[in-house]
């Protein structure tokens, strides 16, 4: 097993991988910045020959925060093919599972002094679920929901627009 060593290098000495397939919209960068400001830069950027393997979003966030150096781990032991595969695998693996909603809600309910919306969580207790029942007279109204998994923000936007154009009431949330 290769032992990893954390180093600190000048932020301008590392460069993004030009073929990084993972997208980092500014909304996500803001969330990363909030995380770094709240918890510190506790996740070193993975570097292969001074090029990022994993951590593109963290680099952008650190630059926007005015950092002059960042923690890195060197992954020079990887072949070029393994580096490319690891770049994709690292980004995809976090997307391959969901939260246990019951445990997630318990944990979120225990966090009282940190705004978790800064990290992309929505406060389920503050969502307005009231609606106008005056047209329903004495009929009972049932509400059904569907969860659609999307590959990325563009896919999400396209599905949202299609469903709203078809007359569905939609809300976007992230888990």
Q: What is the mean pLDDT of the chain?
A: 84
Could you give the domains of the chain? Answer: 6-93 (3.90.1530.10), 101-165 (no CATH)
CA gap 80, 63 in Å, rounded: 27
Taking the whole predicted model, whether its pTM rises above 0.75 is answered as: no
SS3 72: strand
Average pLDDT score over residue span 15-41: 94
pLDDT bin (cut points 50, 70, 90) of residue 127 is very low
Residues 6+ apart with CB under 8 A from 31: 118, 119, 120
Name beta bridge partners: 15: 51
Report the interhelical angle of 56-64 vs 26-39 (nearest 10°): 70
């Amino acid at each position: 097993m290769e032992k990893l060593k954390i180093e600190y290098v000048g932020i301008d000495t590392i460069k993004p991988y030009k073929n990084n397939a993972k997208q980092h919209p500014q909304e996500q960068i803001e969330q990363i910045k909030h995380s770094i400001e709240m918890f510190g830069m506790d996740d070193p950027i993975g570097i292969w020959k001074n090029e990022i393997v994993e951590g593109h979003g963290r680099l952008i966030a650190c630059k926007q925060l005015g950092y002059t150096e960042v923690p890195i781990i060197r992954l020079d032991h990887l072949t070029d093919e393994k580096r490319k595969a690891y770049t994709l695998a690292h980004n995809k693996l976090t997307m391959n599972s969901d939260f246990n909603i019951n445990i997630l809600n318990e944990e979120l309910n225990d966090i009282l002094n940190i705004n978790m919306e800064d990290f992309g969580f929505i406060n389920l207790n503050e969502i307005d679920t009231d609606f106008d029942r005056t047209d329903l007279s004495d009929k009972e109204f049932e509400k059904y929901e569907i969860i659609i998994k999307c590959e990325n923000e563009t896919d999400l936007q396209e599905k949202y627009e299609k469903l709203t154009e078809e007359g569905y009431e939609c809300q976007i949330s992230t888990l």
